[in-house]
Amino acid sequence: MGGKQKEACGRCSVTTVIDATEDANEEDGGENPFDGERIEIDESEMRSVARHEVLASKVTDRLDAFATRVIWGT
């Protein structure tokens, strides 16, 4: 147990897949996952939209810590 689990936007996963298949696409250069438009919003806007997600995450973390203490007696 332990450690925080985070999932970013998914570009890291795409980059890994492209790196793994890069040899197969050397002739045409393959696709760049960083090309094209990006979805970007202000940090303040993100915080106002995601408040309930942050609260749910904090509640989940506390419940998980409580359950761990009950189960393992720590």
Collect all residues with Cβ–Cβ distance below 8 Å to 34 and sequence separation of at least 6: 11
pLDDT of 24 higher than 60: no
pLDDT band at 8 (very low <50, low <70, confident <90, very high): low
28 and 16 within one domain = yes
> Is the Cβ–Cβ distance between 31 and 53 less than 8 Å?
no
46 and 69 within one domain = yes
Residue 2 lies in a domain: no
50 and 31 within one domain = no
66 and 46 within one domain = yes
Give, in order, the Cα–Cα distances in Å from 29 to each of 22, 26, 57: 8, 5, 41
pLDDT of 61 higher than 70: yes
Give pLDDT, residue 44.
87
Q: 0.85 exceeded by the pTM?
A: no
55 and 32 within one domain = no
pLDDT (mean) for 30-56: 82
Give pLDDT, residue 3.
58
